[in-house]
Chain A
Amino acid sequence: MLSRTADNLFWIARYMERAENIARMLRVTDRLSLMPSSTEGEGTEWQSTLIVSGTEDIYYDKYDEVTPENVIFFLAFDRDNPSSIRNCIELARRNARAVRTAMTTEQWEALNGAWLELPSWDETRLRGSGLHRFLDWVKERSLLFYGTTIATMLRRDSYYFTRLGTFIERGDNTARILDVKYHLLLPDNVRVGGGIDFYQWAAILRAVSGYRSYHALYKEGIKPWLIAEFVILHDQMPRSLVSCSSAINDCLENLTVEYGEKNDAYRIAGQIHSQLRYGKVEDIFNQGLHEFLSSYIERNHKLGQEISRSYLLG
């Protein structure tokens, strides 16, 4: 297939996954901001969301202070933020238009439908239940695209490039969501392991659709190291880093078979995967959770670049 087409498919999937994850982060942040926290803590949730989404610098170019209204607008609708939900959906649809022939009708309709409905959301009324309806819509649209990809695409290179986009982005986003805890400072007078700490960890589970599955699997209360294990190392958890890397491995494996050629992307992905597959949560905490996640994000990013270099730039 054309390199440009593969590149577009890869990025369509990334943008849709990113839109969904921004929606997930916004929902969690909004929930946390409703928690009874001390006055000093006011605003840190919104600040941390900016850090985690990697858009803090652009935000401060435009706004002087962090307010819920500004952050919500910035992450959901701001055209100046390249990763805003609006930009993600518009870019995904623009890329899709450029590669209509490589997509199924159902995939196209999922993306075009999102793009057609986007302007009907009133960006000035996105607080409270309005915000949640919007975030639900984003998640549904992303899942619809994800579902149509699985249900309708031929299992060949175009499918694998689309899936690669999803999982490279998802791995990155899951790691960032987990890293929120590093940036989310507890108010000074609050004890670690106390009520607010509990809410913050629970929020991470919710952000990765893992609150109920965590309890089902561990039959335990909220424990940071178990949550980290669940979100990083558990192969039954579909958004965990190991699940993402396993899916990436499968895609590259299939491409290798289809094209009859192994390359650096294949090797890098294998290294990342074996580290996660055989990793232990104790080692991760010894290394430092934030350090581990930063290093993962960096390597995942390199893998994305290597995939581009090997296949997408022609």
Chain B
Amino acid sequence: MAPAIFDEMGLSDNEVRTAYLTLRDWLKETPPEILTLRREEAETFFRRIGITFAVYGEGGDPERIIPFDIIPRILEAAEWDQISAGLIQRVKALNAFIADIYGKQEIIRAGIIPREQVMTNETFRPEMVGLEVPFNIYTHIAGIDMVRVGPEEFYVLEDNCRTPSGVSYMLENREITMRLFPDLFSRYNVAPVDHYCDDLLSTLSSVAPRNCEGDPTVAVLTPGVFNSAYYEHSFLADQMGVELVEGPDLYVKNDIVYMRTTQGAKRVDVIYRRVDDEFLDPEAFNPESMLGVAGLMSAYRAGNVTLTNAVGAGIADDKAIYTYVPHMIEFYLGEKPIMKNVPTHRCADPGEMAYVLDRLDELVVKEVHGSGGYGMLIGPKATKEERAVFAERIKAEPDKYIAQPTLALSTCPTFVNEGVAPRHVDLRPFVLSGKEIRVVPGGLTRVALKEGSLVVNSSQGGGTKDTWVLRGK
């Protein structure tokens, strides 16, 4: 039996939730032609300022815009307070976990996480063992993927501790909504998000190496224009007023990182890198990498530069490690987890695998290291043949897979070709950790534009929405 789906506005007139009353009235009084017109304006705006992302290997326009749904998603102040507290607690625990793993490994010694889950994990970086980082922070910018299944029920689906993207959409979506719908916006008391980049810069500056004198020089390291998130990299550098650098712009001499400028070499103290670990330094990792900087790891180990997020932070967002996060919260913070994990079955465990294979038609199966909605099986939507193929894959490499129950993701009113209709959404808020820990009220709401679809990833036809957090009375 399909579980009941929670709609965040309320599907019928007599069950509209308080936060959505004004929006509902506005939708009623606004003719569809106006909505269509506004949607076209939004698309022109995104194209004109070049907010595009790249999709490779599918032919067609390589620079696409992520469809923007003009109807905002609204969260009450009280709902957000709960989410925010849960996020801060969770990210604190994740940072404590990474510090522990590259330090004393107490959580392993306490028998809470099996040693081999960590030590044989591809994301574990032995280079990081014993290396001290400022404030013991490893994941300075974390994106936590959440879903909602009921009025009070939120689940964390996935933690992104490496180089989470999407925050530029959170900011640009707000920008465009305020521009297109000033009347609707002014009827609400929406908490602002535009200080995100200031918060980001102070977070990055706060983790400068100890030997850095004066204002630290911060730079954003991008793989370059062909990266799918390039727009975001340039946007963030621009908003922070720092240089956007590529590997060849940097070099290391005597364990100090410099950038090449028109006035000669300039020392760099903090690098917000959007390049994956493996490509950061051809001397330490992938020798073929053209994106990195030779000697960077050595400068990092010498304590002359801070990399954000830290190398090896991925150990905390692996889908197999995910299942232990509630235990981490209790172990490091001595607190009860505020936010729930989705019950997860690790196929590496023979008993769990048998359970999963038995119920493939009701579970979602994911690759432990997969992302972007690729390499997953949504049991109830898959054909018998697809399930059979997946069963074989799981049996061949059980430790590569986990499975979760198919959640009834909440829906939000969305303006699609058929008119305004409910579509499934998730939420990715962003947590900044440095000397302080901060969350801007909101996040990126992703929406599956196809009717009934649960896949919100932009690479799979998902769109985005502006996310409004209302301010308390």
Which stretch from B42-50, B202-210, B408-416 is at the chain A interface? B42-50
Any B CB within 8 A of the CB of A123: no
Which stretch from B100-108, B258-266, B329-337, B350-358 is at the chain A interface? B258-266
24 A-B pairs with CB atoms under 8 Å apart are: A1-B261, A2-B243, A2-B245, A2-B249, A2-B259, A2-B261, A2-B262, A3-B261, A4-B248, A4-B249, A6-B262, A97-B234, A99-B244, A100-B235, A101-B244, A105-B49, A109-B48, A112-B48, A112-B50, A157-B262, A161-B262, A311-B262, A314-B249, A314-B262
Are the C-beta atoms of B261 and A101 separated by less than 8 Å? no
Cβ contacts under 8 Å, A98 to chain B: 224-225
List residues of B (58-108) whose CB comes within 8 Å of A's CBs.
none
Q: Which residue of B lies closest to A98 (CB)?
A: B225
Are the C-beta atoms of B262 and A3 separated by less than 8 Å? yes
Q: Give CA–CA (A6, B263) in the complex, Å.
A: 11
Any B CB within 8 A of the CB of A113: yes
Any A CB within 8 A of the CB of B237: yes
Q: Give CA–CA (A2, B265) in the complex, Å.
A: 9
List residues of A (106-152) whose CB comes within 8 Å of B's CBs.
108-109, 112-113, 116
Any A CB within 8 A of the CB of B246: yes
Q: How far is the CB of A158 from chain B (nearest CB, A)?
A: 9
Known contacts: A2-B243, A2-B249, A109-B49. The answer to whether A97 contacts B225 by CB under 8 A is: yes
Q: Which residue of B lies closest to A103 (CB)?
A: B238
Using a CB–CB cutoff of 8 Å, the interface residues on chain A facing chain B are 1-6, 94, 97-101, 105, 108-109, 112-113, 116, 157, 161, 259, 311-312, 314
Residue among B50, B230, B235, B248 facing the most chain A CB atoms (10 A cut-off): B50
Q: Give CA–CA (A1, B260) in the complex, Å.
A: 8
Are the C-beta atoms of B48 and A259 separated by less than 8 Å? no
Are the C-beta atoms of B260 and A2 separated by less than 8 Å? yes
Cβ contacts under 8 Å, A6 to chain B: 262
Q: Give CA–CA (A108, B243) in the complex, Å.
A: 17
Are the C-beta atoms of A108 and B49 separated by less than 8 Å? yes
Q: Give CA–CA (A3, B248) in the complex, Å.
A: 11
Cβ contacts under 8 Å, B224 to chain A: 98
Q: Which residue of A lies closest to B222 (CB)?
A: A98
The secondary structure that dominates the B interface is: mixed
Cβ contacts under 8 Å, A116 to chain B: 47-48
Are the C-beta atoms of B48 and A314 separated by less than 8 Å? no
Q: A1-B262, A4-B246 are known; give 9 further A-B pairs, CB within 8 A.
A: A2-B243, A3-B262, A6-B262, A97-B50, A100-B235, A108-B50, A112-B49, A161-B262, A259-B263
Q: Mark B209-225, 1 if CB is under 8 A from A, else 0.
A: 00000000000000011
Known contacts: A2-B260, A109-B48, A314-B260. The answer to whether A97 contacts B245 by CB under 8 A is: no
Residue among A1, A6, A99, A100 facing the most chain B CB atoms (10 A cut-off): A100
Known contacts: A4-B249, A105-B49, A109-B48. The answer to whether A100 contacts B238 by CB under 8 A is: yes
Are the C-beta atoms of A101 and B246 separated by less than 8 Å? no
Q: How far is the CB of B382 from chain A (nearest CB, A)?
A: 39
Q: Which residue of A lies closest to B237 (CB)?
A: A101
Q: How far is the CB of B357 from chain A (nearest CB, A)?
A: 48
Are the C-beta atoms of B49 and A4 separated by less than 8 Å? no
List residues of B (31-58) whose CB comes within 8 Å of A's CBs.
47-50
Q: Which residue of B lies closest to A113 (CB)?
A: B48
Cβ contacts under 8 Å, A105 to chain B: 49
Are the C-beta atoms of A314 and B261 separated by less than 8 Å? yes
Cβ contacts under 8 Å, A113 to chain B: 48
Kindly identify which residue among B47, B49, B237, B262 contacts A259, using a CB–CB cutoff of 8 Å: B262
Q: Which residue of A lies closest to B250 (CB)?
A: A2
Are the C-beta atoms of B249 and A100 separated by less than 8 Å? no
Known contacts: A2-B243, A109-B48. The answer to whether A100 contacts B263 by CB under 8 A is: no
Cβ contacts under 8 Å, B263 to chain A: 259
Q: Which residue of A lies closest to B266 (CB)?
A: A2
Q: Give CA–CA (A104, B314) in the complex, Å.
A: 36
Cβ contacts under 8 Å, B50 to chain A: 97, 100, 108, 112
Q: Which residue of A lies closest to B260 (CB)?
A: A314
Q: Give CA–CA (A206, B238) in the complex, Å.
A: 41
Q: How far is the CB of B403 from chain A (nearest CB, A)?
A: 41
Cβ contacts under 8 Å, A2 to chain B: 243, 245, 249, 259-262
Cβ contacts under 8 Å, A314 to chain B: 249, 260-262
